Structure 1
Amino acid sequence: MRRPAPVTIRVRIAAGSALVAAVVLSVLAVLVAQQVADASARTATQLAVDDLRPFLVDLRNQPEEEPDPSAAGVLVAVVAPDGTTPRVSMPPELLRAARRVTDEGTVEVPSGRYRVVAERLRTPAGEWRLWAARDLSASDGLLEGIRTSLLVGTPLAVLLTAAAAWLVASAALRPVERLRASAERLRTADATGSLPERGAGELAELAATMNRLIDDLRDAAEHERRVTADTAHELRTPLAVLAAQVELAQRHAASAELPAIRDSVARVTRLADDLLALSRADAATAPPSAVPVAALVTAAMDAVDRARLLAPEGVLVDLELDPRTDESAEVPIDVSGFDRIVGNLLGNALAAAPRSAVVVRLDDARDRLVLTVRDDGTGVPEDFLPYAFDRFSRPGTARSSGSAGAGLGLALVRRLAERSGGSAALANGTGGGAVATVVLPVARGRAR
C-alpha cells in the first residue's frame, strides 16, 4: 500500500490558521447578527412605546373624552372598557394578532412582521387596553443584508487568512530551507565549511548548535580514521614477522624461530585485547556498580605481585596503603577495571627502565580514592605529556627502540577512570621518573 505524501509545514500552518479564522469569524458573525437583531427589536419596541404614550396621557388626564386621532403612519388600537374601539389604525389581521400580545412581542401576518407593545390603564370608567405596532421590514432588510455580507465575507476572510499564513510561513521557513540546502551540500564526503549563522534568534542558535554537532562528527570521523590507520600500522609489523616466520617454517622447519612467532602472536593478542577493552569502555553508558575499597586493595596487591615477577633484577615493586583508608567505603568501578588500571600503569613504569623501585600507593582523600604509581626511571619527554593519554600515542624513544607497546594502555586507564567519574594524569617527578595519578570518587556510609 502506497503511503500518503507527507503534509508540509506550510500546509499545516495555512490549514490551522484557516481553521482558527473560520471558527472565530463564524462565532463573530453569529454574535453580530444576533446583536443587530436584538438592537432592531429594542428600537422597534421603544418606538411603539413612544406611540402609545400620548394616548396614555390623554386617557389619564381626560378619561371621559375619546383619545385624539393618531398621527399618520402610526399603528395603534385603543379598546374602551365597554369593548368598543374608539381609535384603530391597524389593519384587521394585524389587530387580531396584536390583541393576543399581553406585554410585548413580535407577530407575523401576511403583510409582514411587526413589533407589538401592549398597555393597560385603569380609570374610574374601567380598564382601557392599548396596542401599538411597528413594522420590522426595514430592520429585517438590514439584518438580511448583514447576514449576506457575513456569509460572503467570512469565507473570503478565511481564504485571505490562509493565504497570508502561507506567505508568512514561507518567509519564516526560507532560512530553514537555506540551512537544509547547506546541510545537503555538507553530506558529501569531501565537503568542508559549516552552516550559515545569519542574524540572531532561534535559527541562528540552531545553526550554531548544528555546526558544533558537525564539528563533533568530523572529529569523531577523523578519530575513527586515525584509530583505524594506527591499528593497521600496529598490526602490520607483528603480522609481517609472523607471516615470514611461518613461511620459513614451511620451507626450513629447523630454521624457524618459535620464540619470535610466539612474541608476534602475543603482541597481536595484547593489541586485540586492549582494543576490545577500550571499545567496551567507550560503549558503556552508565558507571559500573560500586565495590568496597577492600576489594580494590586486594586487586592492587595481585597486580603488584604479578609485576614483581616481571621486574628486572634489583628493582623493588612495592605497595603502600594509607593507614586512614576506609576499606568499607565504595568506589563505582569494577574490580577487573581497577586491576587493568594498576596493571597498565605498572607495565609502563617497568618499561621506563626504573633504577631501583616502582611504588604503588593508595590514599584516602576524603571523598576520593587516589592511586599513585611512581618510578625512578627515565621519566617522560615533556613534549609528549600533553598527548600521553591519546590512543596509539608513544614517545619517540619508544618508537625508535621498537617497544612492543601499542600506546593504548594510558588511553584505557583514562577511559576507565572517566567512566567511573574520576580522572587520570601523568607528570614527571621532582626527583626523576614519572608519576601517574588516578583519582576515583568514593561513597561512604553504605557498608554491607
Structure 2
Amino acid sequence: MLLALNNVFDPDTLPMVLRIMVMAVLVNLSCALLGSFLVLRRMSLMGDALSHAVLPGLVVAFLFSGSLSIFPMFIGAVLAGVATTFLTQTMHHYGRLSTDAAMGVVFTSLFALGVVLLKLFGSQVHLDAACVYEGSLIMVLDTFEFAGFELPKQILVALPVLLVNLLVVGVLWKELKITTFDSALATAIGISAPVMHYTLMTLVALTAVASFQVVGSILVVAMLIVPPAAAQLCVERLGRMVALSCAIGALVGIVGTLVAVRYNLSVPGTMAVLSGGVYALAAIFSPTGGLASRAWFHYQTSARIVREDILAMLYRVEEFDHTRRLARADALEAVGGGFPARHALRTLVRRGDVAMDDKGLLLNDSGRTKAAKLVRTHRLWETYLVDEIGLPLDHVHEPAHRVEHFLDDEIREQLAERLPEGAEDPHGREIPE
C-alpha cells in the first residue's frame, strides 16, 4: 500500500496520508494518556499483557459472529482484555504470585492460545499473522463520508475510546492520582483502590483493542509505555507528565506517518522507533535527570568544591600570617592541580574573590567572607564530631572537610547554638564569626 504513497504531498495520495496520520495520532493519544498511570504504577507489563491477550478474543469473536466487522471483533477483544486483568489479579491474590509473574503467566498463555486458534481456524478467520504482530493501516481504505470528508471507519472506534479515556481520567483524576502514588492513603480516606485499578485496566483493555489494527499486538506496548517513560524523565508533576506524554505521542504519530510513507516503511514500526529515539534524547538531555544534566551538575559541584577549597586554604594561610601570600603554583598543587584547579582559580579572580599578582594570591573582602563561612562550618562540625560523637581528633578533619561544602546556614547555626560564646574548635583554633 505505502509504495504508491511515497510522494507524501501528491494531491491524489494526500487524503490517504492524512487519514493514516489521524488514526496514528488518535491511537497514540489514547495510549499515552493511560500509559502515564501504568508507568507510575510500575505496571508497564500490563499493557504488554493486554495487547497480546486480545488475540484469542478476536478469533473467538469471529467464530461466533462469522464477521470481521469492527464491533464484534471489538467486543471479543475487550472481553479478553478484561479477563486478562481479572485472571492476573486472581493469580496474584490467591496463587501467591507477584504481580509481574502473574501477568507473565496470563498473557503468554492467552497469546499462545490465540496463536493456536489462529492456526487451527486460519482459513475461516482470515486474520493475517503479520497484522496481528505489527498492525496494519490498510483499513483506512475502508471509509465513510462525513460533512464532505472521507473518514476511515476505524475512527468510529478510536475516537470514542479516546473521548472515554479523557472523560474518565478527567472525572476520576484525583482518585487515580491518589491510588497511583499511595493506595493505602486512598483506602484510608474512602477511595477504593481496587475499583480504580479495575477501571484503569478496563480503559487500557479498550485502548489496546482500539489500537490493535493500527499498531498491532506487540507495538502497542511502545505506544503505551515509551512516550510516558520519556515524559517522566523530563517533568516531576503528574499533570505535566500526562500532557507531555500526549504531546510526544501526537508528534510521533505525525512524524512517524510522514517518514514511513515517504520511505515505504511500516508506520507502526517507524512510530515505535521514533518513540525510542525520543526516549533516548530525554534520557540524555532531560533537565531533571538526563545524563547530560547530571554530568553538568556533577561538574559544577566539583568546580565549586575546588573553588571553596582554594578560598579556605587562603583563609588559613592568612589566619596564620596575614602578611604572607601563597604562591599560585603551591595553591594549584594543594587542590590537585590540572585544568579544574586552574579554571577554579581563574573564576575566583574574575569574580573578585581573589587577587593575584607577582607575589602570589590574596583574598579580597568578598572572598574572605565566603572563606570565613567555610572555615566556620568546618570547625563547628569538627567540634560536633568530638563533643557529641566522641571521635578522636585525628579522625575529624576529613569528615569535616567533606561536609563543609554542603551544610546550609540553618544547620550551621544549630551547631553554633550548642557551643558557649567564644568557644574554640577541638584543635584550639578560633571559630570565625
- Measured against the shorter chain, the TM-score band is under 0.3
TM-score, normalising length: structure 1: 0.22
More helix by share: 2
More strand by share: 1
TM-score, normalising length: structure 2: 0.23
Compare relative contact order (CA 8 Å, sep 6+) and give the higher one, 1 or 2: 2
Task: Pick the structure with greater CA Rg.
Answer: 1
